[in-house]
């Protein structure tokens, strides 16, 4: 039987999103900023985070596929690229969760070819157990050792994205 074990409450998420938005607003004050959300998992986090950032910023999305079920396929396929010109701009990649690090690492390589001024990573969750590529998550909301997490944009086979809190999925 499938069980959803609460991990991060709606209030805890709100606080971390607010604090992260404040920090980003301070760090990028007087600078360009482009938030690039990695679809689909980051859509709710990015929508909330953007409204907690008080400085002007642009928003775009990129879509990649890497996962089926709860195990990685190890391959990253680009489904939709960005439309905004990021040359000489500061890019902040917004991710729901960094797991093996393969997605973020491949995307950094991809965006570097457009010559932005900087590329940093903001992830709601930084999950360590299965990390394969050394990744420095510049803005990390929650640190988790392991588990398969759903809710607040994160899915299991496209389900549970709509939940307001974050749960550990026990299959």
The binder of Mg ion chosen from 17, 20, 34, 41 (CB under 5 A): 41
Q: Quick one: what does residue 101 bind among Mg ion, ligand IMP, none, with the CB cut-off 5 to 8 Å set by partner type?
A: ligand IMP
Q: Are the C-beta atoms of residues 53 and 21 closer than 8 Å to each other? A: yes
Half-sphere exposure of 45 (CA within 13 A, CB side): 35
CB of 27 to ligand IMP, least distance (A): 23
The pair of structure tokens assigned to 37 is: 């959300």
Q: Which is nearer to ligand IMP, 16 or 38 (CB)?
A: 38
99 has catalytic annotation = yes
Active-site pick, 48, 99, 126, 155: 99
Q: Which is nearer to ligand IMP, 55 or 165 (CB)?
A: 165
The binder of ligand IMP chosen from 45, 61, 67, 139 (CB under 6 A): 67
Which residues are CB-contacts of 116 (< 8 A; sequence separation ≥ 6)? Answer: 34, 86, 87, 88, 89, 90, 91
CB of 31 to Mg ion, least distance (A): 26
| Polymer length in residues for the chain | 171
The pair of structure tokens assigned to 161 is: 């994205």
CB of 3 to Mg ion, least distance (A): 23
Q: Are the C-beta atoms of residues 10 and 151 closer than 8 Å to each other? A: no
> Interface with ligand IMP includes 160 (CB under 6 A)?
no
Please choose, from the candidates 63, 43, 120, the residue with its C-alpha nearest in 3D space to the C-alpha of residue 89. 120
Q: What is the contact surface with ligand IMP in residues (CB under 6 A)?
A: 38, 41, 66-67, 72, 95-103, 127, 148-150, 154
Show which residues are catalytic. Answer: 99
């Amino acid at each position: 039987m499938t069980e959803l074990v609460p991990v991060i409450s709606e209030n805890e998420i709100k606080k971390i999103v607010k604090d992260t938005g404040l920090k980003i607003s301070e760090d990028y004050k007087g600078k360009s900023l482009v938030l690039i959300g990695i679809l689909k998992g980051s859509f709710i986090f990015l929508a909330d985070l953007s409204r907690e950032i008080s400085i002007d910023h642009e928003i775009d999305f990129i879509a990649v596929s890497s996962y089926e079920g709860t195990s990685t396929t190890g391959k990253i396929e680009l489904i939709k690229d960005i439309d905004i010109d990021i040359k000489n701009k500061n890019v902040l990649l917004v991710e729901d969760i960094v797991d093996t690090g393969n997605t973020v690492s491949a995307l950094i390589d991809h965006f570097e070819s457009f010559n932005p001024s900087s590329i940093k990573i903001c992830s709601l969750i930084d999950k360590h157990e299965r990390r394969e590529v050394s990744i420095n998550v510049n803005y990390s909301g929650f640190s988790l050792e392991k588990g398969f997490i759903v809710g607040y944009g994160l899915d299991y086979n496209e389900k549970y994205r709509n939940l307001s809190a974050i749960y550990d999925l026990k299959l």
